[in-house]
Amino acid sequence: GQSLEQPSEVTAVEGAIVQINCTYQTSGFYGLSWYQQHDGGAPTFLSYNALDGLEETGRFSSFLSRSDSYGYLLLQELQMKDSASYFCAVRGNTDKLIFGTGTRLQVFP
Amino acid sequence: GAVVSQHPSWVICKSGTSVKIECRSLDFQATTMFWYRQFPKQSLMLMATSNEGSKATYEQGVEKDKFLINHASLTLSTLTVTSAHPEDSSFYICSAIRGGLAGSTYEQYFGPGTRLTVT
């Protein structure tokens, strides 16, 4: 079967750095995406890694290791508005995305 | 940017009735659209893949006759929940990908979602 595992919840304070891990087991793999979703809202795209290594976009970075079936999202200089759910998602052999279990991030002042 | 809209944003219906949800790509042509459902505090579960001009591909366990999908144009896909029951109450979200993109990036553009409550 296919599975993507993430920690269910992470807490941190403003200004801190947080890493959200994702391990996956899928039948095919083209790339790993990360999406942010605030309560009641739509998922918004954060990053996509097709190759091994680190991709940096502002305060957010995403890492992929295909050999380890592992990736992570790194959030730096945390702000209150970063409190949300974060999902990793694998693009398999088709254009479908299979979403992970989701990690709820709570940022405290 | 790439904008996807959904209508309605919320709907309440009685058990046994049918509800249609529309998903539109506003500023691009979407060769493929996807329909997800999400229960409170849970992940997004892919229901089906909708390709313009062809039948939708449903994920295992999703009833085709209950969740009717029509992708009539490159900018519109509809999901009809037929004979709705309280257990169908959920947050339904569509997404779309642009045609013709290649390379190292891949992004699905999500609609704002439709909250369905069946009483």
Residue range B28-87, pLDDT digits in tens: 888 899 999 999 999 999 999 998 888 899 999 999 999 999 998 889 999 999 999 999
| Cross-chain CB nearest to A96 (options B41, B46, B104) | B46
| A70-99 average pLDDT score | 94
- Whether residue A89 is predicted with pLDDT greater than 80 in this model: the reply is yes
Q: How confident is the model at residue B97 (pLDDT cuts 50, 70, 90)?
A: confident
Q: Is A96 on the interface with B (CB under 8 A)?
A: yes
User: Which residues in chain B have Cβ-Cβ distances shorter than 8 Å to A95?
Assistant: 32, 49, 97, 106
Interface test with A, best of B43, B52, B58 (most A CBs within 10 A): B43
Percent above pLDDT 70 for chain A? 99
| A87-104 average pLDDT score | 92
Distance from CA of B119 to the nearest CA of A (A): 20
Residue range A7-17, pLDDT digits in tens: 999 999 999 99
Going by their DSSP bridges, the two strands B30-38 and B45-51 should be labelled as antiparallel
User: Which residues in chain A have Cβ-Cβ distances shorter than 8 Å to B93?
Assistant: 42-43
Q: What is each CA distance from B18 to A66, B8, B33, B39, B85, in whole angstroms?
A: 44, 14, 21, 20, 10
- Residue B88 φ/ψ, nearest 5 degrees: -85, -10
Structure tokens at A75: 């959030």
- Whether residue B101 is predicted with pLDDT greater than 60 in this model: the reply is no
User: Which residues in chain B have Cβ-Cβ distances shorter than 8 Å to A45?
Assistant: 107-109
Chain A's closest residue to B112, CA to CA, is A42
pLDDT at B31: 82
| A79-99 average pLDDT score | 93
pLDDT at B117: 97
Least confident of A46-60, B20-34, B95-109: B95-109
| Cross-chain CB nearest to B93 (options A42, A50, A51) | A42
Q: Do A43 and B97 lie within an 8 Å CB cutoff?
A: no
Instruction: List, as ranges, residues 36-55 from A with C-beta within 8 Å of B.
Output: 40-45, 48, 50-51
Q: How far apart are CA B12 and CA B23, in angstroms?
A: 18
pLDDT at B104: 61
| Type of residue at A92 | G
